[in-house]
Structure 1
Amino acid sequence: MGNFLKHFKISTKLNMIMLSILIIFAFVVGFVVQQQVTEGVKGAAAEKAANDLELANYMLNYYYPGDWDLRDGALYKGNEVMNEDFEIADKIGETTGGLVTIFQENMPITTNLLINDERAISSEATGTTVEVVLENGENLYGEANILGTDMQTAYMPLRTSSGEVVGMLFIGASQEFINETIASIMGVVSIVLGLIIIFAVAIIFLYSRNMAKRLNRVNNALESAGHGDFTAEITDKSGDEIGSLTTSYNRMKDNLKDLIQQVAETSHHVASSAEQLTASALETRAATDTITESIQKVAVGSEQQLENTKTTSDVVINISSGIDQMATHIEEVNRTSTNLSTKASDGSNVIDKTVQQMNTIQMRTTSTAKLVEELGNKSNRIGEIVSLITSVAEQTNLLALNAAIEAARAGEHGKGFAVVADEVRKLAEQSGDSALQITEMIKEIQQDIEESVKAMGDGRLAVEEGIQYVGEAGSSFKNISSSVESVSTQLEEVTKSVRDMTTNTTAMVQSIESIKDSTEEAAGYTQNVASSAEEQNASMEEITASSQTLSKMAEDLQAAIKNFKL
C-alpha cells in the first residue's frame, strides 16, 4: 500500500484517504442505521402484534359475550361454538390486517389462513408454544415464517371461568411493512449520506487543491534553492504546518544569505592574507638567500684568515727560534758582528712583513666583524618578518574558526564550508608552527652572532697587541743594527734586549695562537649560521607552498559561493 501511494501527489493521497474514510463512515452509518431501524421496526411490529392480540380478544368478547369453556368436545365462547366459526376469524383478520387462529388446546379450530383455498386447521401446535402458552398459561411473542412470509406472532391462553387453559388465540402480523419501512428509511439515509459525501468530497478537493498550491510554492522555492537560487519569496500567512514551513524557509534563506556573505568576505580576507603571506615568505626567502651568501663570504674570509694566522704563527715561531739562537751565541757577537748586522737586517725585513701581515689580519678581522653585525641586523629583520607571519597565521586561524562556527549554524548545507574552514585552520596552524620554529632558529643564530662578534673583538684586540709587539721587535732590530759597531761595549744591554724580545715573542706566539683559535671558532659559527639559513630557506619554501595552496582554496571557495543567487 505504501509503495502504491508513494507515486501520488499529497493532494491525491489526501483525497483518496479522506474519500476512503467517508465511504467507510457511510457504510458504518448505514449499517448502524439499518440495525437500529430494523430493531425499532421489529419492536413496533411486535408491539402491533400484541395490540392486535388485545384487539382480537376484545372483539371476541364483544361479539361473543361469556367465558371460554369446553363442552362436548367443542370450544365455546359464551353460548357460541367457536369450532369452524370462520366469520369471526375473517372479521378480526380484516380489522388487524393479519392472521388469526383460535386453538382448542393445541389444535386450530378456526382461522383466516388459507392454503390452496382451504382453511389451515389441520396442523397442531407443538414445542415451545404449547409449553409456554398451554402449560404455563403465559403470552408468547416471537417471529415465524408462515408460507414464506416473515411474521410477528403473538399467542394468548384462553381460560375458563375457573382459570383452566383450554385453548390459544394466535395473531400474526406481516413483516412486509417492516422491510418497506427499512427500505424507505435506508433510501433517505443513503441519499443524505450521498449528499454528505459529495459535499465533503467537494470541500476536501478545494482544501487539498489549495494546500497543493501552497506546497507547490514551497517545493518550487526549495527546488530553486537546491540549484543555489535563493531569490524566490514565499508568502503564507496561515498558522498551520505549511505556514510554519514557509516561515522556516524564509528564515533559512535569510540565514544562508548572511552566512554566504560572511563566507565570501572571509574567503576574500583569506585570499588577501594568503597573498600577503606569500609575499612575506618570498621577501624572507630573498633575505635568507642574502644571509646565506654573506655567511658563505664570511666563511671564505675566515678560512683565509685562519691560513694567514697559521703563517704568522710560523713566522713568529721562527723569530723566537732566531732570538734563542742569538741568546745562545751572544758571546760570538763581536766576532760575527757583520753577520749579525745582516741577520738583523733580515730580521727587520721579517718584522716588517709580520707587521704587514698583522695589519692584514686586523683589517680582515674588522671586516668579518662588520659582516657578522650585518648578519645580526638581517636576523632581526627576519624576526620581524616571522612576527608578521605569526600575526597573519593567528588572524587566518581566527577567520577559519569564525567560518567553522557559521558553517555549523548552517547545518547540513554548511558541511562543505566547515571542511574548507578546517583546512584553512590547519594551514594557519602549520604557518604559526613554522614561524615559531623560524623564531627559535633566529634566536640561536643571533646568539651565535653575538658570540662571533665577541670573539672577533677579542681577535682584533689580540691582533692589535701583536702588531704592537712586532713593532717593538722591529725597533729592537733597528737598535741592534745601529748598535752593531758598539756591540762590544753594549753587550750586556743587547743581552737584556734579547731576553726582552724572547719574552715578547713568546707572548706574541700565544696571541697568534689565540687568534687562530678564535678564527677556527668563528669559522665553525659561520658554518652553523649557513646551515640555519639553509633550513630557514627550506621553511620559507614550505610556507610559500602552503600560502599558495591556501590562496587557491580561497579562490575555489569564492567561485563556489558565486553559484548562489541571493
Structure 2
Amino acid sequence: MKLNDIKIRSLLKGIIVIIVLTLFILIAMLSVMAKANKNVMQTYDRQFEFSQIAQSVADASDYLTNEARLYVMTTDKKHLDNYWEEVNTTKRREKGIERLNEMKTPQEFIDTLQKATQESANLAKIEDIAMKSLEQGDIDAARTMMFDTNYASYKEKIDGYVNQFITQLNEYSAKKVSEATAFSTTINYIVYAVIILLVIVLTTSFTFIGKKVSALNEIKKQMDDLAGSEGDLTKRLEVKSKDETGEIAQSFNMFTGKVHEIVSEVNSKALEIENNSESLKLNIQKSSNSSEEISKVVEEIARGASDQARDTEDSAVKVNEMGQALENDFTLMKNLREVGTQIEKKKDEGFKILDELIEKTEKSSKDSEQINIIVTQTNEYAQKIETASQMIQGIADQTNLLALNAAIEAARAGEAGKGFAVVADNVRTLAEQSIGFAQEINTVITALKERSEKAVDTVKILSEAIKAQSAEVYSTQDKFNDISNSLGDLKNVVVDLEKTTDLLDNKKVEIVDIVQNLSAIAEENAASTQETTATIQEQSASLHMVSQQTQVLHDDIIDIKDTINKFKF
C-alpha cells in the first residue's frame, strides 16, 4: 500500500500509538536513570564512609600507642585516662567493625581487620605490663618495653593489617563506584537515544500529516477554481490517492459528470421544444389567417345570394386548408406530449442523482467532523506530553538542588570531601543537561500544538467548503424543481392545445356541413350566416388563446436555455 493511499484516520492512530509507546519507554528509562543516579550517590556515600571508618581504625591504633608511650615518658595520668577512655568508652575500632557488618562489607575485609585486632590485643598486653611496671616505679623497664623492637614488630603488624584493610576497602569502594557510574552512563545514553527517537517520530509524523493537509488544500484549490469558472462542467479534480481526499475528489467528479449529462440532455430537449413551439406558432398563425378568410367568405355570403356558390366553393377550399392545418397542429401536439414525457423521465433521473449527491455530501460533512475530532484529540495528547515534560524538568531541578546540597556538604568536609565535590558537580551538570533536554521537549511540543491548531483550522475550512458545496447542490435541486414546475405547466398547455384543436376540428366539420347545405337551404341563409359568424368568432378567440399560450411556452423555453447556458458543457 502506498503512503498516499493510507487513510488519515489510520495514519493518526498509528502516529499516536508510536508516540505513546515512545513516551512510555522514555518515562520508564527516566525512572531507571533516576534510580541509577541515586545508586551512584549512595555508592559515593558508602565510599566516603568506608574511608572514614578505615581512617578511624588507623587513628585509634596510633592514638593508643601514642597515649601509652606519652604516659610512660611523662607519667602524666591524663594520657593514661585517654588510653583507657579509648579502650573502654570510645572504642573506635570496635564501632568501625560493627558499622562494617551493618553495611554488609565483604567478610574478607572484616577478617583482615580482625587480625589487626588480635595483634592489638597482644600489643595491649605489653602496654599493660609497661604501665604496671611504671606504677611499681620501674620507669626504665616500662619505657624499654614501649620502645623496643618487640613492641615495634607488633605495631608494624597492626599497621600492615590496617593498611591492607584500607587498600582492600578503597579498591572495593572504587569498584562499586565504577560499576554504578557505568550503569548510570549506559542508562543516560539509552534515554538520549529514546529522546532522539521521539524527535524523529514527531518529525516524521508532522511530515506525513503535512502531506495529507497539502492534498486537502490542493483539492480545495481545484474546487475553488471550478466554482469560480461560472459553471464549467468540463473540469475535473485530479485523483492522486485512495484516501479520504481521493474519495472526495472522485465523488465530486462523478457528481460533475452526472450534472454535465443532465444539463446536456435538458439543453437538447429545450432546443427541440423551442423548434416545435416555433412550428406551432406558425401553424396557429395560419389558422388565424384561415379564420379571417372564412369571415370574409361569410360576409360575402351575406352580401348576396348571387355570390353564394362562389363563396361556398371558396369556403370549402379554406375549410379544407384549415382542416389540414388542424391536423398538423394535432400531430405537433402529440410530438410535444412525447417530448414532455421524455423530459419528465430525465427530470426524475436528475432528482435521483441529486439525492445520491446530497447523501454523499452529507457523508463528506460527517467525515470532516470526524477528522476535526481526531485532530483535537491529537492536540490534547500534545498537552499531556507537555505536562510530562514539565514533570521531567521538575525532577531535574530537584536533582540539581540535591547536587548543590552535596557540594556544600563536601565543602564542609574540607580536603576529604574534594572527590565528593567533583561528583556533586558532575551530578549538577547532568541535572542541568536534563533541564535543557526538557526545554527542548517543550519546544517540540509547542510546535506540535501550533501545527495541531493549524490542522484544526484547516479542517474547519474544509468543513466550510463542504457546506458551500452542499448549498450549491441544494441550489441545483431548487433549479431542477423549477424545471419540473415549468414542465408541468408545459404539459397543461399541451393538454389545452389538444382540447382547442379538437374543438377546431369539430367546428371544421360543422363549417363543411354548412357549406355543403348552403345551396339547398337558401331560405335559411341568413340564420346560417349568423351561426357561421358566431362559430368563426369562437374559433378566433380559441386561436388567440392558443397563440398566447404558445408565446408563454416559447418564453419558458428561452428561460430554460438561459439557465442551462450558465453551465459550460
TM-score range for the pair, normalised by the shorter chain length: 0.3 to 0.5
* TM-score (norm. length: structure 1): 0.47
Q: Identify the structure with the greater helix proportion.
A: 2
* Larger Rg computed on CA atoms: 1
TM-score under structure 2 length normalisation: 0.47
> Does 1 or 2 have the higher relative contact order (CA < 8 Å, sep 6+)?
2
